[in-house]
Amino acid sequence: MRFGCAVRVYGQPGLKAYDTRRRQHEPHLSVSLMYLRDILTYLHRRHIHFYRMAAEILPFATYPHRPEYRRQVEECAQELAHVGALARRYGIRLTLHAPSYVTLSSAEPEVVRRSQEVLTALAEVLDFMELPAESVVVVHVGGGYETREAALDRFCRHVDALPEGVRRRLALEHDDTTFDLRDVLHVHDRVGLPIVFDLLHHRLLNRDALPLEEALHQALDTWPPEVTPKVHLASPSTSMRVVERRNPVTGQRYTTVHPPLWNQHSDFIHPYDAIALLTALNGREADVMVEARASDIAVLRLQQDLWRFAPELAAQVAHRPTRQVAEPSPLYMDWSGELETEEDGRVLVVVMNNPRDFAIARDEGWYRIPVKRAPRQVAADYLAFYLTRVFEEERWSIPYIAPVLRYRVVRRVELLPEEPDHPRAQEWYYKVEIGPLRRLPHPVPSRRFRRVTFIPTTLQRLLAAEEINDLWMTRDVQAQLHAALKERHVHAEQQYVIAEGGPPYRTDLAIPCLDGGVGVRWQPSPLRRAPTLTEQGWTMLYLDPEEALDHLEDVLQEILDEVREHGGERHSAPMPVL
């Protein structure tokens, strides 16, 4: 059994579910696929092996009146296959949920036609990704209109009109207002769509008063034996709703407080809702999509709660957490597709080591990243370029940025055909196609002329950065500690690699000193000892992030004391002339 999350994730900063750029910026499926690639890499590390992609991954689903977006599926065949292979390698089940405007029960021919086109396009995405039959597109019946019976009949007829390959990808979910489990079981009997059981919907709309176990097993029986059924788990929100209104006479605004709506999802899953569902399964196999506003954080917390409250069930179904699940920083919670502005666009800082690659980016409009050595986060709305020592006046700085147009997966020899005998000629690369290079209003320098590889950040951070250490999207405690040190004129380096006479050792925060230095790692104790660090004169502090946040002033004082013990900060070299 796999527990999964839907669309957005919060456990790692900078991950978007799809290309959220507006129509005027020409969103592209290949950009969405790279965001999906980054999410899959994150989920694999967190042992989450079930994920619902955003339907908006395909711009055609957001702009169905723009048929040219539909062609992006075939254009991105190689990239779709690449990300699909990654999902299969990680053992992550991928599904989709049709947009709310997909309504096959409608009596309006144009609405039905557009709905069928979107479903066909979403099914093509799954097919081009070469995903197995378990990867389905979940749909609802839609509106009841004049009568439920007539709407169900139209739905069945319109499903029958779909191509066979599209029908094979569909699964049907009952809802909480109009069509209950009995209704969708009737549809299954007619057109054969498997049923996705939803615990919250069943509790809100159950005209036949079917017991949970009986209803659940009726839905599970609709799935082919070779496909693991999919079920939805949600808890109702119990939060009060604060609504702002305007007095129609005076025009003054006032606030009213309303009780919760029981069909709205809570932030986390009540553990006893999960226990009820898992008990009703009675050992049968199913994958559980956790529908909670905290998404992946809710999945991790639920796994922990099951080990606490129902270990006999948790041993069968949940990956055992190795540590307390940390609460996400509030900063992460702001990163939602609907709330993003142009300034919240994602930026990937990449390295320019030689003038030839810079000329390619400037004149031909592309940059390459080897797939084997790609960073955890590849997707971005912009590339920013960190220039190394060969660029003279602009060295050790980020002076340029360019918008990302699309991604391709190609072999190196296709990018550089003049080098057919290169040792990596047949290796795969991400080709990032970009628009014109733009000069930043204020280039972002590196104070210590340090070597960097890739830095995922945001456009807002890039435009506001005074130096390169301001770019990293780090946990809240590190951001506060870095800012506090900066106020005391101590310039700490983020994500710094110590490589002074020994094997490289990565720190979360480091202060090079006249005699060695002081480093910080966010872990209560070292995962591996690094005796050579002491020989090099470095002192490492291994800190619990939650405790450090509660005692930030004490941690700050400890670091400052250690810096003094090491002879004080090794001052930056003079800033490059820009």
Q: How far is CA 207 from CA 148, 165, 183, 261, 465, in A?
A: 13, 33, 10, 20, 59
Q: How far is CA 39 from CA 9, 89, 520, in A?
A: 8, 14, 27
From the number of C-beta atoms within 10 Å of its C-beta (0-12, 13-18, 19+), residue 505 rates as buried
| CA atoms of 362 and 366, how far apart (whole Å) | 8
DSSP-derived 3-state class of residue 402: strand
Structure tokens of 392? 């003279």
| CA atoms of 185 and 334, how far apart (whole Å) | 40
For residues 358-373, one letter each, b for 16 or more C-beta atoms within 10 angstroms of the residue's C-beta and e for the rest, the string is bebbeeeebbbbeeee
3-state secondary structure 133-181: CCCCEEECCCCCCCCHHHHHHHHHHHHHCCCHHHHCCEEEECCCCCCCH
Closest listed residue to residue 149, CA positions, set 102, 182, 101: 182
Task: Tell me the pTM.
Answer: 0.79
| CA atoms of 485 and 482, how far apart (whole Å) | 5
| CA atoms of 385 and 199, how far apart (whole Å) | 49
| CA atoms of 126 and 367, how far apart (whole Å) | 28
Rounded-to-5 percentages of helix, strand, coil across the chain? 40, 20, 40
Q: Find residue 160's DSSP bridge partners.
A: none
From the number of C-beta atoms within 10 Å of its C-beta (0-12, 13-18, 19+), residue 208 rates as exposed
| CA atoms of 93 and 392, how far apart (whole Å) | 49
pLDDT, residue 143, reads 84
User: Chunked in runs of 10, what are the mean pLDDT values of the chain (578 residues)?
Assistant: 92 86 83 94 93 90 71 91 96 95 92 92 95 96 86 95 95 94 96 96 95 96 96 92 86 87 90 95 94 93 90 74 47 31 74 92 93 90 91 88 93 93 94 92 79 83 86 73 82 81 80 88 62 73 79 85 88 44
pLDDT, residue 392, reads 83
pLDDT, residue 573, reads 47
Residue 206 one-letter amino acid: N
pLDDT, residue 137, reads 97
Catalogue all structural domains in the chain, each as residue range(s) with its CATH number. Answer: 3-322 (3.20.20.150), 345-365+372-405+434-470 (no CATH), 474-578 (3.40.960)
3-state secondary structure 323-373: CCCCCCCHHHHCCCHHHCCHHHCEEEEEEECCHHHHHHHHHHCEEEEECCC
Closest listed residue to residue 367, CA positions, set 448, 434, 318, 277: 434
| CA atoms of 445 and 466, how far apart (whole Å) | 7
From the number of C-beta atoms within 10 Å of its C-beta (0-12, 13-18, 19+), residue 318 rates as buried
